[in-house]
Amino acid sequence: MKPSLTILTGASRGMGLAMARQLLQPGHTLLTLSRTPNHSLSADASAAGATLVQWSVDLADASAVAARLSAWLAAQPQGAFAAATLINNAGVIPRIGPLQDADAADLAHALRVGLEAPMR
């Protein structure tokens, strides 16, 4: 079977980490985007025979990440992957409370990571 590529945001912990572990399949490639790499995932990838590429990126700076991803994809050999899948899992939940008490910067950051970054 031709290898596939999965790009997964927020793989350093939580649900993203659980998905990453399942996506580490022999011969397939997983590219993860989180601020913090997860070292246990590297060992899991070696054991599974999967290719793991972990980037330490801040999705609040979506345009820089989009540019880096675009360049990386362009550098892959043509036809290297049968399919490419993007899983936008990363997100932050702003402090929960009445909207009138919400911190504008906190809300903006959550929207940047959860809404703007996937749209880039």
Residues that bind ligand NAP (CB under 6 A): 9-16, 34-36, 58-60, 89-93, 113
**Residue 9 CB, nearest approach to ligand NAP (Å):** 6
**Residue 120 CB, nearest approach to ligand NAP (Å):** 12
The number of C-alpha atoms within 13 Å of 6 and in the hemisphere containing its C-beta is: 22
Chain Cα centroid distance, residue 15 = 12
The CA radius of gyration of the chain, in Å to the nearest whole number, is 16
Smaller CB distance to ligand NAP: residue 47 or 93?
A: 93
Smaller CB distance to ligand NAP: residue 13 or 95?
A: 13
**Residue 44 CB, nearest approach to ligand NAP (Å):** 15
Please, are residues 27 and 8 in contact by the beta-carbon 8 Å criterion? no
